[in-house]
């Protein structure tokens, strides 16, 4: 109940803000702007922005800074999904219950949509005013985010993911792939929330980062489980596609029961680090529970 309440509040807020900052479809290039809006304003759960708002509010951040950080993360996340769905990568035709960007607009536009979303994300972050945030903290945000989505983060995780398709790997390799491709963006969201409040205390940031990394792993293992147990209509993407593509997952390596136990253990570890950060955690915890409660 609490989880639902907080998530809905943050979803409404970020959806309105994203609608406001995305270029109009009446501005050239029309089709590119249609594709950008189509790929962002199409009903994502907005978990990452909810984590930013909840972390930032716990530390009394300026709401205008939180809006910009949340939008930047959602734009990057949408970019990663558009490119992930491309024929050259996962070749998925359905995303958030609708035709994927390349199916709706063609591959060239989908590639450019990703490029433009990434550029817009960093333009937004760099536009935070020095009255709202110390410039060195703003720069740190940009450094953290660009590092966590580059070759040592999300893009690197995706490269490894593509390389192991159809191959057998062990659990530690899979854990590395999940950390890079999923956990780093979730950890970056939480760190951006804290930095929005000018929080620079190393111990707090270290514990929050670990909270994010473990939460991200729990999220991705639960995603593997949903791919087996949920339905295409609920997921908004094809159920069973991991198995169909012979993708290594936690359930494929451990079995379903052990994978579920692993997700719970990892989630508890995440909560342990959140507690160690000593920040006000009511809303963050409510949002975190959604990671394992969600059905899509
Ligand atoms: C951004 C530099 C840069 C590169 C991108 C294509 C790519 C490299 C990365 C893709 C990574 C990827 C698809 C990871 C999967 C993460 C995941 C479980 C996504 C689904 O997240 P949800 O369920 O999606 O939060 P919604 O639709 O709710 O937003």
Query: At CA 84, angle to CA 190 and CA 189, rounded to 5?
Result: 5
Span from the CA of 131 to the centroid of ligand 1 (angstroms): 32
What is residue 61's three-state secondary structure? coil
Gap between the Cα atoms of 174 and 168, Å rounded: 10
Worst-scoring range by mean pLDDT, 63-72, 102-111, 224-233? 224-233
Long-range contacts of 134-143 (CB under 8 A, 24+ apart): 134/198, 137/195, 137/198, 137/200, 140/195, 140/200, 141/69, 141/191, 141/192, 141/195, 141/196
- 162-196, pLDDT tens digit by residue? 999 888 899 999 999 999 999 999 999 999 999 99
- 92-150, pLDDT tens digit by residue? 999 999 999 999 999 999 999 999 999 999 999 999 999 999 999 999 999 999 999 99
Contacts of 288 (CB under 8 A, 6+ apart): 51, 215, 267, 270, 271, 274
**What DSSP state is assigned to residue 81?**
H
151-166 mean pLDDT: 95
254-278 mean pLDDT: 97
66-77 mean pLDDT: 98
pTM: 0.97
Query: Which residues have any ligand 1 atom within 6 Å of their CB?
Result: 44-45, 47, 76-77, 79-81, 83-84, 96, 149, 154-155, 158, 181-182, 220, 223
């Amino acid at each position: 109940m609490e989880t639902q309440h907080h998530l809905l509040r943050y979803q409404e807020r970020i959806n309105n803000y994203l609608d406001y900052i995305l270029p109009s479809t009446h501005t050239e290039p029309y089709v590119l702007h249609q594709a950008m809006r189509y790929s962002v304003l199409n009903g994502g759960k907005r978990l990452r922005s909810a984590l930013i708002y909840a972390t930032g509010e716990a530390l009394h951040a300026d709401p205008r800074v939180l809006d910009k950080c949340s939008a930047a993360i959602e734009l990057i996340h949408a970019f990663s999904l558009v490119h992930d769905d491309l024929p050259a990568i996962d070749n998925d035709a359905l995303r958030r219950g609708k035709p994927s960007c390349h199916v709706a607009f063609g591959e060239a536009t989908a590639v450019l949509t990703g490029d433009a979303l990434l550029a817009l994300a960093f333009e937004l972050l760099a536009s935070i005013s020095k009255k709202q945030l110390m410039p060195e903290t703003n720069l740190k945000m940009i450094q953290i985010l660009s590092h966590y989505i580059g070759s040592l983060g999300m893009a690197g995780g995706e490269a490894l993911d593509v390389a192991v398709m159809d191959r057998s790997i062990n659990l530690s390799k899979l854990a590395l792939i999940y950390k890079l491709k999923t956990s780093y963006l979730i950890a970056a969201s939480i760190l951006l929330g804290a930095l929005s409040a000018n929080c620079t205390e190393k111990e707090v940031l270290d514990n929050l980062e670990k909270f994010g990394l473990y939460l991200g792993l729990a999220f991705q293992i639960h995603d593997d489980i949903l791919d087996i147990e949920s339905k295409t209509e609920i997921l908004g993407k094809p159920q069973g596609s991991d198995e169909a593509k012979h993708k290594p997952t936690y359930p494929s390596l451990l079995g379903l029961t052990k994978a579920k136990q692993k997700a719970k253990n990892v989630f508890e570890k995440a909560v342990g680090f959140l507690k160690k950060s000593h920040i006000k955690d009511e809303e963050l915890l409510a949002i975190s529970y959604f990671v394992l409660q969600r059905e899509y």
